[in-house]
């Protein structure tokens, strides 16, 4: 019995250090370091201002227009204008902003013999009776009879090129008449109307006219075609 108690005491002393004393716990194992904890996520920002509405509503797309009907073929004109005429061209309403003075009064009105040729609605007017200038046979106007029986003529080819009406009016002056667009209607004598174009008077000598001395630019020159009933 005595030996058993001694064994218990030895065991107590070995295990606990001293019997009757409170146990001496060993130091706790350190917690392994894993870095600072992740901060909580930032709160989501409040939604931005809503997209402002357009200042004006978007218009609906325009409907595709239906194709225009093809006009019926134009019937051949029954108007017969072919014949001989006297043409009087009158310069008027000259542009006051021109760099050149207006032509002399005697050069602002010119009358020429002519022959009007017609092929259906196509018109060609040949100016005759003028001396040849620059080896040109004659000057001409061309155009068409319109649906309302009016006539449009020109001597403009395009790209600043005209079949100008040339007349040497003196030994030192050449008159050139350019017709951009002439609009004519029927009259008791034949045809009459207005035209846009120019009266240009060049200074120089025969076949050499280096400069413009006077000019009249207008959108409303007047013109009359008087039919020559004697032919």
Domain ranges of the chain: 83-227
Residues 165, 127 contacting (CB under 8 angstroms): yes
**pLDDT at residue 134 greater than cutoff 80:** no
Tell me which of 132 and 114 has the higher pLDDT.
Answer: 114
Contacts of residue 102, Cβ cutoff 8 Å, sequence gap at least 6: 91, 94, 108, 214, 215, 216
Whole-prediction pTM: 0.66
**Quick one: pLDDT at residue 77?**
64
Cβ proximity of 205 and 171 under 8 Å? yes
Kindly tell me if the per-residue pLDDT of 149 is higher than 90.
yes
Res 76 pLDDT > 50? yes
Q: How far is it, in rounded angstroms, from Cα 129 to Cα 176?
A: 15
* Pairwise pLDDT comparison (181 vs 24), residue with the higher score: 181
The pLDDT of residue 198 is above 60 = yes
Q: For residues 129-155, give the mean pLDDT.
A: 88
- Evaluate if residue 155 carries a pLDDT over 80: yes
Q: Which pairs count as long-range contacts for 121-124, CB under 8 Å and 24+ apart, including other chains?
A: 121/74, 121/76, 121/77, 121/145, 121/146, 123/81, 123/151, 123/153
State the pLDDT at residue 206.
79
Residue 209, C-beta contacts closer than 8 angstroms, at least 6 positions apart: 174, 202, 203
């Amino acid at each position: 019995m005595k030996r058993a108690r001694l064994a218990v005491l030895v065991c107590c002393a070995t295990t606990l250090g001293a019997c009757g004393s409170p146990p001496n716990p060993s130091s706790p194992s350190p917690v392994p370091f894993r870095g600072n904890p992740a901060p909580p996520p930032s709160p989501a920002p409040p939604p931005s201002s809503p997209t402002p509405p357009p200042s004006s509503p978007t218009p609906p797309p325009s409907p595709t227009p239906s194709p225009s009907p093809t006009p019926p073929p134009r019937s051949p004109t029954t108007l017969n204008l072919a014949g001989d005429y006297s043409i009087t061209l009158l310069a008027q309403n000259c542009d006051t902003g021109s760099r050149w003075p207006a032509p002399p009064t005697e050069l602002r009105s010119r009358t020429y013999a002519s022959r009007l040729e017609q092929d259906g609605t196509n018109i060609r007017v040949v100016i005759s009776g003028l001396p040849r200038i620059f080896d040109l046979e004659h000057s001409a106007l061309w155009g068409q009879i319109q649906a309302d029986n009016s006539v449009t003529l020109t001597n403009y080819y395009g790209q600043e090129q005209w079949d100008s009406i040339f007349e040497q009016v003196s030994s030192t002056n050449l008159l050139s008449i350019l017709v951009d667009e002439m609009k004519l209607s029927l009259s008791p004598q034949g045809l009459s109307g207005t035209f846009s174009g120019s009266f240009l008077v060049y200074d120089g000598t025969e076949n050499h006219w280096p400069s413009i001395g006077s000019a009249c630019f207008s959108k409303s020159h007047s013109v009359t075609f008087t039919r020559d009933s004697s032919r």
